[in-house]
A = this chain, B = another copy of it.
Amino acid sequence: MRLPDKTCTIEDAIARIPEGATVMVGGFGVPGTPFTLIRELVRQGQRNLTLIKNDANERGMGIDHLIANGQVARLITTHIGLNPRAIEMLNAGHLAVEFNAQGILAERVRAGGAGLKAIVTDIGLATELADGKPRIEIAGKPALVETALRADVALIHAHRADVFGNLDYVATARNFNPLMAMAADMVIAEAEAVMPLGDLAADEVHTPGPFVDHVVGLTEISEEYAVVRR
């Protein structure tokens, strides 16, 4: 028994994304955003996408390129305050945005990755985010049913990958990546380094290889990763 090799060119990996796909994108701000995969998706130009991402990056970075390019029909997110373009498009009715509490977005994605149908929570009960969501009682108290989220594709940024798709992440670049790497029918990971089998210690893997479909090695680190001097 040996574990199969899942390395792939970025062109081939992104070409598997169809028009109209639902795409999860890792990252919280800059760290963990798969900038290189996103750039290739901009280049190939698939349209009418639903994106699921914590935030909308900043103007001129990450998924803002997809939004600016008119490829995004809908965004499921928690906070887009750092991207004025996304806010303008939301206000003008050119981008449908669904807001979630941040930890609930994380749990909905995780529930999708865990093959659950929904989670039940009291988070946001008093807020307008609860509007229209089914309510049930647990131990006599009201709670919201938040359905699981899955995607056709997840775009992941890893620190290291082995050729089978075992991944690790570094520092706060982990964030939504391990959750999304479980929650899509096709998981594409870009990695700053691709290692031979056995070079990632089995106890230190953050995303087990069986969840990952395609591994893309990065030949250079996107300049969008540079430290921002505000």
Residues of A within 8 A of B (CB): 107, 111, 114-122, 134, 136, 138-139, 141, 143, 145, 147, 168-171, 174, 202-204
| Measured CA separation A136–B119 after assembly (Å) | 12
Q: Which residues of B contact A122 (CB under 8 A)?
A: 117
Q: How far is the CB of A106 from chain B (nearest CB, A)?
A: 9
A119 and B121: CB pair below 8 A?
Answer: no
In the complex, are the beta carbons of B138 and A118 less than 8 A apart? yes
Shortest CB distance A189–B (Å): 17
A136 to B139, CA, bound (A): 16
Give Cα distance in the complex from A28 to B82, angstroms: 46
| Docked-complex contact A120 and B121, CB < 8 angstroms | no
Contact B117 A169 (CB under 8 A): no
Residue of B nearest to A143 (CB): B117
Q: A103: shortest Cβ distance to chain B, in Å? A: 8
Nearest B residue to A106, CB-CB: B114
Question: Do A147 and B138 have beta carbons less than 8 Å apart?
Answer: yes
Q: A136-B145, A169-B203 are in contact. Are A116 and B117 (CB under 8 A)?
A: no
Given A107-B114, A114-B107, A145-B136, A203 and B170 touching (CB < 8 A)?
A: yes
Selected from B111, B139, B169, B170, the residue in CB contact (under 8 A) with A119 is B111
CA distance A18 to B207 in the complex (A): 38
| Contact across chains for B107 and A203 when beta carbons are under 8 A apart | no
B203 and A168: CB pair below 8 A? yes
- Residue pairs across A and B with Cβ atoms less than 8 A apart, 11 shown, are A107-B114, A115-B121, A116-B119, A116-B120, A116-B121, A118-B119, A120-B120, A138-B147, A139-B147, A169-B203, A174-B203
Cα–Cα distance between A115 and B202 once the two chains are bound (Å): 29
A107 partner residues in chain B, CB cutoff 8 A? 114, 116
B-side contacts of A171, CB under 8 Å: 202-203
Once the chains are docked, how many angstroms separate the CA of A136 from the CA of B116? Answer: 13
Q: How far is the CB of A187 from chain B (nearest CB, A)?
A: 20
- Separation in Å of the A73 CB from the closest CB of chain B? 21
The CA of A139 and the CA of B120, in the complex, are separated in Å by: 15
